[in-house]
Structure 1
């Protein structure tokens, strides 16, 4: 199958994702009330058992002879438990916003508007992406179904100022907008577009976002509520590698030495024991189903789902209104400290008036916050507006498709941007302190922040088995029956609760990648603390060729140290007879093996190559 790249006189072009065009997204998980009730019961039990475990952990289990080891590990467990509590609060219940048909007049979305057609602008942002890739997104946007009383216009927002991109937009009959500078990243690009268009609503797409024809029909009706500022839909990566069967993978790899048939039989035997195995399936865990269908969807009840950029539609009035308030606040913030030092009231008023005029000229109106994480930042500004807090809606149905990172370097660029951006907002404009959010909204945002801060205590979990196996010093009084009586129910109750609460949407691989991301999380925090600008290249839309082991050197170090620690402890106990605590050895070998598996997830991703790339 070959995708048509443009009009009939434009040559067709093959892309790596051409073979995935037949894929269709799965529908959102059905809301089953009895299952939600069971989840809430199990979550409550897990909370009670967790509190019991941590009371024992801090009052009766610490090794008082090694507090330098015992306290950091107990603290890491406690901080991790706080993250679990926030996760449970986020997942507590589904509150899908009732769907409504699209409006047929602007006055149905805004009581003050005239009785006229609703105008919807589609923005497709691009910087350095292949113009022919962007053409596919333009063509998809042109195929949008326009409900009665709705007018749709499509614009290409080119921050690269490229003649060939302009030509593609003109060939497709779409508007072309650019600007003289790249100030403000994507947010600056969007602001420039708002200055040159007049739609009541704006659909935001990345260069590779191809929205489905029914997008406007399925999302515009939510804006009948005049307080709804934006609607976010799930992002779906339709090009995720599907991998190959274990038989095919082992047969291919051992064919060069003539052992292909033996390897195939061995693969079949392994799968009889562990079930079907696919090699290279979504090696970077790019599937966002857990994030969208479980986490963001369940924030609807608190109006705390945040914008994720592509695949969202925004009310123009909300974005502009919030930006004007932020503009006024920014001017006042620069003026107030200066005039506060003047005692004379008349002089203070004269100087303040003059400074406000000057600052008003120097300060820019920014409809979308100028920030690498402009989507979540703008969400916070709108939801935390002290005069008119706007609502958000998460629509659970997939209405667009995108391309995923296809190599370790691209994956890291994207994740580092998310992490550093969130940390920067937290430290420099904390949403928990500086905005009028509800308690539920604050807890939801705290969960997002907490997940990125977890890299601070993740090393304690990774180092614990290494320290014990090398030294024999336990972080607890003893790995005794009492330890297992408290620890096993706590872990089992939590895992069972999340399994039921997630409706069968697995996040096991996501958890392993989150754990293995710790060096980059620490780097993101250090970058923000040093006040360095968060710079990143645009995430490549095509696979970068090569192996990327240099990106996972710290994870490899953890693996090597853990393997050496297990080997040393095994020799010390079973060969030299220097130690007798076999239960502690078993616990830490198990935990160390678990840590190795977590780190191996990202090491395998760094080594991954599509079938056929540099192979026979």
Structure 2
């Protein structure tokens, strides 16, 4: 974003905040129809939420950063390129592996096959790339989907930098040369490049291209030091990831050990009281209690948790060695004391998890914690990788639900507002993305309000027409102007607004699923986005809620017009509600068009592969 456009964005942002705050203050203070509070209050809350999202967007755009070209990549850096796959077709992964193998900067390419398929192992050897899958240590343990796959590979490789690609994301030869120069700054943890999809038509009916996000929004986040890691098309510093893994491990162990020592203190005191004064068991139990007391004192003085746990276990061993005659049940009790402070996470295949495994959007959570540690990030605005977007509505909806669910999972469990180490601006950048999914609840209110007026005659606002338009129109126009100026030359701006509103059932479902996962320990499954050819038939089942909403809006409008024509409804509320319905229908209609979209049949593999590429080039050393 050039200086002139940035200046215009800042002026419009000031207007958005000024007009928006004036409008919302007026709405709360003078216009609420308290006789219909049950719809009037939700409506003004929804409007307040929409204003807050506009303010967050304005704040984000205020500092949008257009970076100059980075330094040239220094020779001699070591890079591992990871291609993550689980159930994608072999041909698709081969296409990506060829592109990754042929990246110019010297590196090793690895196929991370979470499906452990023999044909992939053979293809990797033929292509001259490495092949990694999980070992027996993962059997019977939680796998953590893509995050676990990457973490497994991190401990089987050793390059300074790691490039991560999804199975369908084919890099250009200059990919690494274009971004490695940023790592001359030792504080940079990762560099993210755009996700661009070659199979998306110009009309982009599924809203896949996300040019506003991979452009002004990422540049805005970058300006505030919070460019996001988006799971693919990025290069990360191994040192930063390992430091994050160690920090996460330590943070998880600290409260566990403190709680265990407190509980063991109480348990040993109970055993001593049960043993009685004359019992020969009292002395060894009191010795064990002294060891626990000492561990508790050391923790209070700030000693490292791992060191305290180690010394507690050693102290209990000394007690057992000093009293070899103890009965088996007492020995078992003292072994329980040692086990209670076990911090090696033997329930996990890996004790250290560099990529965050607590959410299905491991990329956002990992980036946030790297930023909280003081690491920096870079958004490089150049298409260096081309991928494959979903070809049908159902697959797209599943992908969006996974993103939304993971984001809201982080919102509930690890809210950026309470993350120590983040700057105020970084907190807002993460919050802006997470709270955008609450738009589903606002959309329900915006759909319900005109329907309620047309059918029940209940209007949620007490206002004169001139007062309303004088306050609302400037705010609305400035919001749209900010959106257009900030996103100048970015495609799909209107489609993005449509999808943000029309996917309200997905956003609501994702928010509730995330809340259930965090507060009620419900499991969230990780679904891999399908890359298979879609059925040619139109399927309306995924958008039944939207269709029902559209039918209700149209039917209620007919009722409203009839009531107005018979003099049973006022003119201003009726025509305002009709305009409202028109806007709702325009927004919702995007999913109907998406349901009818069918891609032109192509064979993407033929664009990249022929029989000559399966050479017997030497492969990097493979691990399993």
Instruction: Tell me the TM-score normalised to structure 1 length.
Output: 0.82
Match of 1:530 in 2: 516
Match of 1:184 among 144, 156, 171: 144
Q: Which runs of 5+ in 2 are unaligned?
A: 267-288, 297-308, 314-337, 603-624
Match of 1:262 in 2: none
Q: Which runs of 5+ in 1 are unaligned?
A: 1-30, 106-116, 243-280
Match of 2:531 in 1: 541
Match of 1:219 among 168, 179, 203: 179
CA deviation string 1:232-263 (max 9, x = no partner)? 00000111034xxxxxxxxxxxxxxxxxxxxx
Match of 2:417 in 1: 432
Match of 1:379 in 2: 367
**Greater alpha carbon shift after TM alignment, 351-360 vs 212-221:** 351-360
Aligned counterparts of 1:49 and 1:287: Cα–Cα separation in 2: 32
Match of 1:131 in 2: 90
**Greater alpha carbon shift after TM alignment, 457-466 vs 346-355:** 346-355
Match of 1:577 in 2: 567
CA RMSD of aligned residues (A): 1.9
Aligned counterparts of 1:495 and 1:74: Cα–Cα separation in 2: 20
Match of 1:609 in 2: 598
**Greater alpha carbon shift after TM alignment, 179-188 vs 583-592:** 179-188
Match of 1:10 in 2: none
CA deviation string 1:334-373 (max 9, x = no partner)? 1112223538774234584335862224362101111311
Aligned counterparts of 1:558 and 1:492: Cα–Cα separation in 2: 26
Match of 1:252 in 2: none
Aligned counterparts of 1:496 and 1:504: Cα–Cα separation in 2: 14
CA deviation string 1:29-88 (max 9, x = no partner)? xx3211211121111012111111111111111123222221110111001111111111
Q: CA deviation at 1:434?
A: 3.4
Match of 1:168 among 118, 123, 140: 123
CA deviation string 1:293-333 (max 9, x = no partner)? 01011211221011001100000111011101111111112
Match of 2:56 in 1: 86
Q: Which has the larger radius of gyration?
A: 2
Match of 1:230 among 179, 190, 213: 190
Aligned counterparts of 1:571 and 1:471: Cα–Cα separation in 2: 13
Match of 2:292 in 1: 347
Aligned counterparts of 2:190 and 2:259: Cα–Cα separation in 1: 35
Match of 1:564 among 555, 560, 567: 555
Aligned counterparts of 1:229 and 1:53: Cα–Cα separation in 2: 42
Does structure 1 residue 552 correspond to structure 2 residue 573? no
Does structure 1 residue 509 correspond to structure 2 residue 495? yes
Q: CA deviation at 1:610?
A: 3.6
More relative contact order in 1 or in 2 (CA 8 Å, sep 6+)? Answer: 2
Contact 2:505–2:545 at 8 Å: present in 1 too?
A: yes
CA distance 1:537–1:322, shift in 2 (3 Å): closer
Match of 2:343 in 1: 359
Q: CA deviation at 1:536?
A: 3.9
Contact 2:257–2:341 at 8 Å: present in 1 too?
A: no
Match of 2:200 among 234, 240, 246: 240
Aligned residues between the structures: 525
The within-5 A match list for 1:178-577 is 178-180=133-135, 181=138, 183-242=143-202, 281-340=203-262, 342=265, 346-350=291-295, 352=309, 353-354=312-313, 358-362=342-346, 364-370=351-357, 371-385=359-373, 389-505=374-490, 506-531=492-517, 532-545=522-535, 546-574=537-565, 576-577=566-567
Contact 1:381–1:435 at 8 Å: present in 2 too?
A: no
CA distance 1:357–1:118, shift in 2 (3 Å): farther
Question: Secondary structure at the residue paired with 2:131?
Answer: strand
Q: CA deviation at 1:102?
A: 3.6
**Greater alpha carbon shift after TM alignment, 528-537 vs 81-90:** 528-537
Aligned counterparts of 2:415 and 2:157: Cα–Cα separation in 1: 32
Aligned counterparts of 1:491 and 1:290: Cα–Cα separation in 2: 19
**Greater alpha carbon shift after TM alignment, 539-548 vs 417-426:** 539-548
Contact 2:391–2:599 at 8 Å: present in 1 too?
A: no
CA deviation string 1:472-528 (max 9, x = no partner)? 221111452211111111111221222222224252111111111111111112222
- Runs of 4 or more, structure 1, over 6 Å off, are none
